[in-house]
Amino acid sequence: SRNSAVNGIFKLALDFLESVGFVGCIHCEYVPSGANPADAPSRGVYPPHNLLLPPIDIPAVLIPFVVDALSPLTSGELSTADIECVETCGEDDSDGGEDAAVGDDGLDEFSVLVSAI
């Protein structure tokens, strides 16, 4: 991919599989945003509440790391999100713009589906 972030994720996944002695076949496929059911939720756009799964019990040790997806972000969460975006995207995303480049295939954004067989 021409997207260095995607390449980095692939490398981490493949390095991990190698480190645990994975023997098998990995198939990767680009999924256009329009065909990806996780695209809207990944952008904070959720289906109606009646379609959401019921809440689960979160272990106390994990609670400091979990954000309620149905509540507005706190000022602390917003400042952390900006820092993480600068570190991972290489640019400030406070304008809400896209970070992914448009490729020759016309996909302005994509998710990667990795399946191991």
Q: What is the pLDDT of residue 115?
A: 39
| Cα–Cα nearest to 85, from 74, 94, 77 | 94
Q: 107: pLDDT confidence band, cut at 50, 70 and 90?
A: very low
With vertex at residue 34, the alpha carbon angle to CA 30 and CA 39, rounded to the nearest 5 degrees, is 80
Q: Which two tokens stand for residue 32?
A: 């256009």
pLDDT of 15-74, one tens digit each?
A: 999 999 998 888 888 888 889 888 888 888 888 888 878 888 999 999 888 877 778 878
- Give 114's DSSP letter: E
Q: Where are the domains of the chain?
A: 4-46+55-116
DSSP string of 69-105? TTSPPPHHHHHHHHHHHHHHHSS--TT----SPP-TT
pLDDT of 67-102, one tens digit each?
A: 777 788 788 777 765 544 444 444 444 444 444 433
